[in-house]
Structure 1
Amino acid sequence: MQALETHFRLLEAGAQAEVCSAKVVGFQAKFEKLFSAWRKANSEAIARGEALAEARGWNKKDGTSLRSFASMEAQVIAQIPSDDRQRRCDELLASFIASRGS
């Protein structure tokens, strides 16, 4: 299940980063550096998780999927007050600093 969680974290972080990059000055550069290192360190778990999600039908291109769920979460972040959004974006960055390679 850890691989599945890692795959979802990839989708979730990507969706949230789109919102944060559009709303928070300087976010994109910080995120890309941290996210790239995390993806590299977790590439095997991401691939296993993607395969598991695919096998379970959770990666559908249309309808309910892990990607659509991550997108809905990101839409919520886009609509919350700017100070709360800033906090969530900062937490996203911090999560990749705290979890280097995990």
Structure 2
Amino acid sequence: MHTTLSTKPGRHDHPPQPRPEQAPERPQPRPRRVGPIDRLALHMGVALIKWGRRPGAVRTPAPVAVEAEEWEAALRIRQERERAEERLRVDLLGYRMTVPFR
């Protein structure tokens, strides 16, 4: 059986590594102190998260007929606003189509 080696002859391992007893001594890194600004930022972040998760105000139930009328009025207002935006968009598109590009 023929064997083909993929590495150059004479190179069988990695370059020599220093032994642990020969490694240079490194000073231990000092623990990072937390300053007052870091603590303030942490407390502010936690307070903002708590504030954002607070429960919403509970509305008292209103009579169904009044609520339905308010809902329909709000729906009509929203539809009119959407129609006005669409008209504005069409007007701007027509303006862009007629004005030459500079």
Larger radius of gyration between Structure 1 and Structure 2: 2
**Relative contact order (alpha carbons < 8 A, sep ≥ 6): 1 or 2 greater?**
1
Would the TM-score normalized by the shorter structure come out above 0.5?
Answer: no
Greater fraction helix? 1
TM-score w.r.t. length of structure 1: 0.22
